């Protein structure tokens, strides 16, 4: 489902970026989407798959600045409840994702992408909690070379 939303955002960005005429001032466009989905994730702390019914909201702020290019700031929030397939344990999920993109007016380089995600799969009762933290950043220069790369994924069981 996240991939589908990201594809949708990419199509909107492509349309908006090619349709916006040259402007003298910065312009910001905001989009908010909400929905529901059912999915499963693996809780490595307990060793079981968890089926979750989630509600989500994404907010995108796209700013067009004639002198500095395009900037996208986005937030995605997931909330839901579910149960473990093998134990029947009940769970609550909270996930918050924040990311930004930046590139020049002509969609050339440098391109900068940053993503920060926090998720908590909280077991109700005896099930252990799975906590996860992801920070990802990369920068691509005019030669299409990656000049910065950070990928830090940490999980812990509590």
- When mean pLDDT is compared over 4-8, 16-20, 91-95, the highest value belongs to 91-95
Of 110, 112, 109, 128, nearest to 120 (Cα)?
128
- On whether the CB atoms of residues 69 and 26 are closer than 8 A, the answer is no
The percent helix, strand, coil of the chain (3-state, each to 5) is: 10, 65, 25
Of 41, 57, 56, nearest to 91 (Cα)?
41
Residue 12 confidence (pLDDT) above 70: no
Residue 151 confidence (pLDDT) above 80: yes
Residue 62 burial (C-beta neighbours within 10 Å; 0-12, 13-18, 19+):
buried
Q: What Å distances lie between residue 144 and 32, 70, 107, 108, 124, CA to CA?
A: 32, 18, 12, 9, 47
Per-residue pLDDT tens for 50-78? 999 999 999 999 998 877 788 899 999 99
> What is the gyration radius of the CA atoms in the chain, in angstroms?
19
Per-residue pLDDT tens for 84-114? 999 999 999 999 999 998 887 666 677 899 9
Per-residue pLDDT tens for 119-144? 999 999 888 999 999 999 999 888 88
Q: What Å distances lie between residue 137 and 95, 153, 154, CA to CA?
A: 19, 12, 15
User: Is-above-0.85 flag for pTM?
Assistant: no
**Residue 67 CB partners (closer than 8 Å, separation 6+):** none
| Cα(158)–Cα(28) distance, integer angstroms | 41
């Amino acid at each position: 489902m996240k991939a589908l939303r990201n594809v949708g955002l990419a199509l909107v960005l492509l349309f908006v970026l090619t349709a916006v005429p040259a402007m003298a001032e910065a312009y910001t466009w905001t989009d908010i989407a909400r929905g529901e989905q059912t999915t499963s994730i693996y809780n490595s702390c307990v060793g079981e798959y968890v089926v979750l019914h989630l509600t989500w909201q994404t907010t995108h702020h796209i700013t067009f600045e004639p002198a500095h290019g395009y900037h996208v700031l986005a937030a995605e929030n997931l909330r839901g409840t579910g149960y473990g397939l093998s134990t029947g344990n009940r769970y609550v999920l909270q996930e918050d994702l924040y990311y930004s993109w930046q590139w020049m007016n002509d969609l050339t380089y440098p391109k900068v992408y940053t993503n920060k995600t926090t998720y908590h799969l909280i077991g109700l009762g005896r099930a252990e909690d799975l906590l996860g933290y992801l920070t990802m950043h990369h920068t691509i220069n005019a030669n299409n070379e990656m000049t910065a790369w950070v990928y830090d994924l940490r999980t812990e069981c509590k």
